[in-house]
Amino acid sequence: MQSVAAAEILLSLVALYGAAGALTAVAFAAAWVTQIVPAEGGVSIPARLLLIPAAAALWPWILRRRFGASAR
């Protein structure tokens, strides 16, 4: 019984981590990428789509760079 509860908690934490990654990735690809890559023509939609998986995996670093730099 306890192992089932521990597994449910672990899966809930993994799902929460994934959801935070997905939200951060979408926000990064939609708006924040233009602050990092100031391209004259903008960042194309295919390029933004390619950035989503990496942004989802690296979401803690992206949030630290996005909001941590303004606090200093």
Residue 1 reports pLDDT greater than 80: no
pLDDT score recorded for residue 36: 79
Place of tokens 């989503």: 52
Residue 71 reports pLDDT greater than 60: no
Of the candidates 69, 57, 72, the residue with the CA atom closest to the CA atom of residue 24:
57
Q: How many domains does the chain have?
A: 1
Question: Model pTM greater than 0.85?
Answer: no
Residue 16: which domain range? 2-71
Q: Tens of pLDDT along 22-64?
A: 999 999 999 999 887 777 778 889 999 999 999 999 999 999 9
